[in-house]
Amino acid sequence: MNIVLLGAPGAGKGTQAQRLVAEYGLAHISTGDLLRAAVKAQSKLGKEAKGYMDAGRLVPDKLVINLVKERLQEDDAKRGFILDGFPRNSQQAVVLDSELKDMGIDLDVALLVDVRPEVIINRLSSRRTCRECGYTAQAGVDACPRCGGEMYQRDDDKPETIAQRLETYGNKTAPLVEYYAGHGILKQVDGDRDVNEVYADVKSLLGL
């Protein structure tokens, strides 16, 4: 099964993706992770991406799609994948569909994890991140359980910044949701609830 995962920052997409990966062996393809890994490995695409990132510019869609295509050729992705973080708008979705078609790959589901803005602001503003490894936990955890690093609140996780991010997300993503609805593959789950309830509904929606 090939899935595009949709939802605002803090909607709990990553948690649901991790459970699907653990239970069904799908490849979790996060474009953020792909970019960081490519830069760290100093691959050709990574060096190109780093040039844009160092200049404070957005990495071009074509470069991101090339990273995704490269990742899709790995063995685990052939069993099915969850694409997380891309596409971010309907223009990117059109390009992605074209590239996947050339590879003989179809998307089965666009899964939207829908959460009210006030719930997301509360979730993210109480989140702390490890300076060393990026592990996230709730406020009150002073040392990273994974590596022992310092936990801190990212600027992105402050309430005023979260509100701006949600506004940007809403403006760009509403047409993307409509795009996949128009293609008849959009499925939506209420992400405001306990993660176990959400996951049960996700599996039901996906027919798993």
Give the pLDDT confidence of 95-141 residue by residue, as tens digits: 999 999 999 999 999 999 999 888 888 888 888 999 999 888 888 88
Residue linked to tokens 């909607």: 11
pLDDT number for residue 123: 82
CB 190 within 8 A of CB 114: yes
Answer whether residue 5 shows pLDDT above 80.
yes
Q: Which entry of 19, 50, 69, 88 is annotated as an active-site residue?
A: 88
| Element (DSSP H or E) covering residue 124 | helix 117-125
Q: Which residue has the higher pLDDT, 165 or 143?
A: 143
Q: Which residue has the tokens 């799908």?
A: 26
Residue 40 known to bind ligand: no
Report whether 170 belongs to an annotated binding site: no
Please report which confidence band the pLDDT of residue 87 belongs to, taking 50, 70 and 90 as the band edges.
very high
For residue 88, indicate whether it is catalytic. yes
Quick one: average pLDDT of 160-170?
A: 84
Which member of 19, 50, 69, 127 is catalytic? 127
Asked if residue 20 belongs to a known ligand binding site, the reply is no
Concerning whether 127 is annotated as a catalytic residue, the answer is: yes
Mean of pLDDT over the chain: 90
Q: What is the pLDDT of residue 55?
A: 83
Residue 2 CB neighbours (<10 A): 18
Q: Which of 37, 16, 18, 41 is nearest to 28 (CA)?
A: 18
126: nearest Cα among 162, 91, 90, 172 = 162
Q: Which of 108, 18, 31, 112 is nearest to 64 (CA)?
A: 31
- Is 165 labeled as catalytic in the residue annotation? yes
Q: Which of 50, 69, 165, 172 is catalytic?
A: 165
Q: Does residue 88 have a known ligand-binding role?
A: yes
Q: Which position among 123, 154, 172, 203 bears the catalytic label?
A: 154
pLDDT, mean of residues 44-67: 87
Cα atoms in the 13 Å half-sphere on the side-chain side of 10: 27
**Residue-level pLDDT at 170:** 82
Q: What are the backbone angles phi and psi of residue 142, rounded to the nearest 5°? A: -85, -30
Domains, the chain, ordered by start? 2-115+172-206 (3.40.50.300)
Is 9 within any annotated ligand binding site? no
User: Which pLDDT does position 6 carry in this prediction?
Assistant: 94
pLDDT digits (tens, 9 = 90+) for 36-49: 889 889 999 989 88
Q: Is the pLDDT of residue 145 over 80?
A: yes
* Placement of tokens 């128009």 in the chain: 182
pTM passes above 0.85: no
Concerning whether 79 is annotated as a catalytic residue, the answer is no
Per-residue confidence (pLDDT) for residue 178, from 0 to 100: 93
Ligand-binding annotation for 87, yes or no, is yes
Q: Does the pLDDT at position 158 exceed 90?
A: no
pLDDT band at 77 (very low <50, low <70, confident <90, very high): very high
Active site residue 203: no
Residue with more model confidence, 166 or 24: 24
Q: What is the mean pLDDT of residues 146-167?
A: 87
